[in-house]
């Protein structure tokens, strides 16, 4: 690992991969990717559903994306950036400090857990975010037990409803709107499936401790469950900025910039961010 690069990319998901490829193909050789997980791919690696490109699932799409990835781009996986400093340096989990001229922040998004929602009651084992459960099932072969309740019928809620049905669980989806809010492709996955959809209501209280026993809805009903997933939205993952305004030497890309529902727009934004970085490099102070 060198001590300095012209461009540092934090996050090796679709946006980071796309940005790195574009920079490299444009002749920029002083770049590196830092990725928290053991391999590149980001959220794609936990997506077992089809819907990426031409009928691929997330893992196949990641494989395709990495097929022509230049092998000489330094990628430091299983390494986390834990702090950014105003002098354009980053502290890594392995203790190294890397200096850079420009930074592409491609750290993806985070989910909203029950702890952040106006839901009373307990926070027992059995309550997760939808993405956490998706990773546990698809990457770590965890087999959850039902019945399951999912709060939110956006894309991730519907994808997880489909996946839990495939595993044979009884699934209830609770949604405050009057209709399912996810993309048509994700609603279509559930057509004809034995799912309980409860529109126009929300979860008021979680019950059970230490294990989940069920939830009370805003219409007073109690739904017994052993698994509860929150799927109520995603927020750009920008904790590294520690609440500061984004300085002009940091360029966010992918879900870290704004939440994208299609992979194509993430790839496009990764590439366009790289082009912007190339145009800024001449003027960026040397290290
Ligand atoms: C659950 C889900 C399902 C989706 N399904 C579809 C679909 O069916 N079809 C479709 O076209 N699109 C889908 N999308 C949209 C699209 O695929 C994703 O938005 C896209 O893959 C996100 O790429 P990204 O690079 O922005 O973020 P991510 O893939 O999340 O990558 C961010 C990376 O940054 C790393 N990271 C974060 N912080 C640090 C740090 N401090 N140090 C080092 N590394 C760090 C993370 O480990 C992660 O690997 C889905 C999105 C989600 C969330």
- Average pLDDT value for residue range 2-20: 97
Cα(42) to centroid(ligand 1), Å: 5
> What is the rounded distance in angstroms from the CA atom of residue 97 to the CA atom of residue 257?
25
Of 196, 213, 232, the residue at which a domain comes to its end is: 232
Residue 54 pLDDT = 83
Same domain, yes or no, for 117 and 152? yes
SS3 (DSSP) at 255: helix
Same domain, yes or no, for 151 and 201? yes
Q: Whose CA is nearest to atom 41 of ligand 1?
A: 81
Same domain, yes or no, for 213 and 257? no
> In CATH, what number is assigned to the domain containing residue 71?
3.50.50.60
Residue 183 pLDDT = 92
What is the pLDDT of the chain when averaged over all its residues? 97
Could you tell which of 39, 40, 43 is best to mutate to test the pocket of ligand 1, judged by most ligand atoms within 8 Å of the CB?
43
Q: Whose CA is nearest to atom 2 of ligand 1?
A: 156
Percent of the residues in the chain that have a pLDDT greater than 90, as a whole number: 96
> What is the rounded distance in angstroms from the CA atom of residue 192 to the CA atom of residue 69?
41
Same domain, yes or no, for 208 and 261? no
Give the bridge partners for 150, in sequence order. 173, 229
Residue 287 lies in a domain: no
Cα(221) to centroid(ligand 1), Å: 35
| Nearest atom of ligand 1 to the alpha carbon of 264 | 11
> What is the rounded distance in angstroms from the CA atom of residue 103 to the CA atom of residue 6?
8
Q: Whose CA is nearest to atom 17 of ligand 1?
A: 263
pLDDT digits (tens, 9 = 90+) for 250-276: 999 999 999 998 999 999 999 999 999
Same domain, yes or no, for 37 and 103? yes
Residue 201 lies in a domain: yes
Residue 1 pLDDT = 82
Whether pLDDT at 215 is above 90 = yes
Higher pLDDT pick, 177 / 287: 177
Same domain, yes or no, for 62 and 134? no
> What is the rounded distance in angstroms from the CA atom of residue 238 to the CA atom of residue 98?
19
- Average pLDDT value for residue range 205-222: 97
CB distance 251 to 278 below 8 Å: no
CB distance 156 to 131 below 8 Å: yes
Four-residue CA torsion sign, 11, 15, 135, 65: negative
> What is the rounded distance in angstroms from the CA atom of residue 194 to the CA atom of residue 165?
8
Residue 268 lies in a domain: yes
Same domain, yes or no, for 228 and 240? no
Cα(13) to centroid(ligand 1), Å: 6
- Count of domains forming the chain: 2
pLDDT digits (tens, 9 = 90+) for 102-127: 999 999 999 999 999 999 999 999 99
Residue 91 lies in a domain: yes
Residue 213 lies in a domain: yes
Same domain, yes or no, for 171 and 226? yes
Higher pLDDT pick, 287 / 242: 242
Same domain, yes or no, for 131 and 190? yes
- Average pLDDT value for residue range 220-248: 96
Residue 99 lies in a domain: yes
How many C-beta neighbours within 10 Å does residue 95 have? 7
Residue 39 pLDDT = 97
| Nearest atom of ligand 1 to the alpha carbon of 17 | 25
Domain carrying residue 117: 113-232
φ and ψ of 179, to 5 deg: -150, 165
Whether pLDDT at 53 is above 90 = no
- Average pLDDT value for residue range 194-207: 98
Of 232, 253, 273, the residue at which a domain comes to its end is: 232
> Has this prediction a pTM greater than 0.85?
yes
DSSP secondary structure, 37-105, as one string: SSSTTGGGGG--SEEETTTEEHHHHHHHHHHT--TTS-EE-S--EEEEETTTEEEETTS-EEEEEEEEE
Residue 2 pLDDT = 84
Same domain, yes or no, for 127 and 197? yes
Give the residues surrounding ligand 1 with Cβ less than 6 Å away: 10-16, 34-37, 42-44, 47, 49, 51-52, 80-81, 106-108, 131, 134, 156, 159, 237, 240, 254-256, 260-263, 266
CB distance 130 to 150 below 8 Å: yes
CB distance 254 to 16 below 8 Å: yes
- Inter-axis angle of helices 263-281 and 14-25, to 10 degrees? 40
Same domain, yes or no, for 125 and 149? yes
How many C-beta neighbours within 10 Å does residue 191 have? 7
- Average pLDDT value for residue range 48-69: 94
Q: How confident is the model at residue 55 (pLDDT cuts 50, 70, 90)?
A: confident
Same domain, yes or no, for 150 and 199? yes
Could you tell which of 108, 109, 129 is best to mutate to test the pocket of ligand 1, judged by most ligand atoms within 8 Å of the CB?
108
Residue 40 lies in a domain: yes
Q: Whose CA is nearest to atom 31 of ligand 1?
A: 13
Residue 165 lies in a domain: yes
Please report which helix (H) or strand (E) contains residue 31, including its range: strand 31-34
Q: Whose CA is nearest to atom 23 of ligand 1?
A: 14
Q: Whose CA is nearest to atom 47 of ligand 1?
A: 36
Whether pLDDT at 287 is above 90 = no
């Amino acid at each position: 690992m060198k001590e300095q690069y012209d461009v540092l990319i934090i996050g090796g998901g679709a946006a980071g991969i796309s940005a790195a490829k574009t920079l490299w193909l444009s002749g920029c050789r002083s770049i590196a990717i830092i990725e928290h997980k053991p391999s590149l791919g980001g959220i794609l690696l936990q997506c077992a559903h089809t819907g990426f490109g031409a009928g691929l699932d997330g893992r196949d799409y990641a494989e395709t994306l990495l097929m022509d990835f230049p092998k000489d781009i330094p990628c430091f996986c299983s390494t986390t950036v834990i702090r950014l400093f105003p002098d354009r340096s980053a502290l890594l989990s392995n203790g190294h400090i890397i200096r850079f001229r420009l930074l592409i922040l491609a750290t993806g998004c985070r989910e909203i857990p029950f702890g952040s929602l106006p839901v009373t009651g307990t926070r027992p084992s059995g309550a997760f975010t939808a993405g956490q459960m998706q990773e546990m099932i698809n990457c770590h072969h965890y087999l959850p037990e039902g019945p399951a309740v999912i709060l939110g019928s956006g894309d991730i809620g519907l994808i997880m409803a489909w996946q839990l049905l495939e595993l044979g669980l009884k699934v209830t989806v609770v949604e405050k709107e009057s209709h399912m809010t996810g993309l048509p492709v994700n609603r279509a996955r559930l057509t004809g499936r034995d799912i309980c959809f409860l529109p126009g209501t929300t979860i008021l209280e979680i019950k059970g401790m230490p294990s989940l026993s069920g939830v009370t809805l805003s219409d007073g009903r109690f739904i017994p469950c052993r698994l509860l997933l929150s799927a109520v939205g995603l927020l750009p993952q920008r904790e590294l900025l520690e609440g500061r305004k984004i300085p002009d030497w940091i360029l966010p890309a992918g879900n870290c910039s704004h939440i994208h529902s299609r992979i194509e727009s993430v790839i496009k934004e990764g590439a366009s961010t790289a082009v912007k970085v190339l145009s800024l490099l001449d003027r960026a102070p040397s290290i």
